[in-house]
């Protein structure tokens, strides 16, 4: 299977797949003409990667998860640790963003948004310490 079709099946652009090979996440075979030849196992890995990335795991997380995935004797606690750590980071990010959201929506609410120059948003951003 060529890269285009592999991308179709895994839901990833060809560019991304080449990149994943570049950084050693997958190792497709090569045809005589130099084209990458994807096996079912490669597609499966790519799909796995797509899902993990969609959940926001970093590439390094994905590398580790993939290794655990292939290690049928792994302990589920290893996987869980990575996921929990990541979940923690997501939660931190959410709360940071919610803080921004609160501040910003207050400012937007208080700004008339008309032709006059008075603007609490700029006022707040520029206020002396």
Partner DNA sequence: CATAGGGGTTCCACTCACTGGAAGGTCAAT
Partner DNA sequence: ATTGACCTTCCAGTGAGTGGAACCCCTATG
Interface ranges with DNA (CB under 7 A): 2-5, 13-16, 18-19, 31-36, 53, 58-60
Q: How many CB atoms lie within 10 A of CB 122?
A: 12
Is residue 79 part of the contact set for a copy of itself (CB under 8 A)?
yes
Residue with tokens 């090569």: 30
Residue 41 binding: pick among a copy of itself, DNA, none (C-beta 5-8 Å cut-off by kind): none
Residue 26 binding: pick among a copy of itself, DNA, none (C-beta 5-8 Å cut-off by kind): none
Contact 17, 26 (CB under 8 A): yes
Q: For residues 14 and 62, give the distance between their C-alpha atoms in angstroms, rounded to a whole number.
A: 18
Give least dist CB 57 to DNA, A: 8
């Amino acid at each position: 299977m060529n890269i285009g079709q592999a991308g179709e099946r895994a839901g990833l652009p060809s560019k991304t797949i080449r990149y994943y090979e570049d950084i050693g996440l997958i190792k497709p075979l090569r045809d005589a003409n130099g084209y990458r030849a994807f096996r079912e196992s490669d597609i499966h890995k790519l799909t796995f990667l797509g899902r993990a990335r969609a959940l926001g795991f970093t590439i390094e997380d994905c590398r580790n998860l993939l290794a655990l995935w292939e290690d049928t004797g792994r302990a589920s606690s290893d996987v869980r640790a990575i996921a929990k750590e990541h979940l923690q980071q997501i939660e931190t990010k959410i709360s940071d963003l919610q803080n921004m959201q609160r501040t910003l929506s207050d400012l937007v609410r208080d700004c008339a948004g008309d032709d006059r120059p008075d603007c609490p948003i700029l006022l707040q951003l520029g206020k002396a310490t």
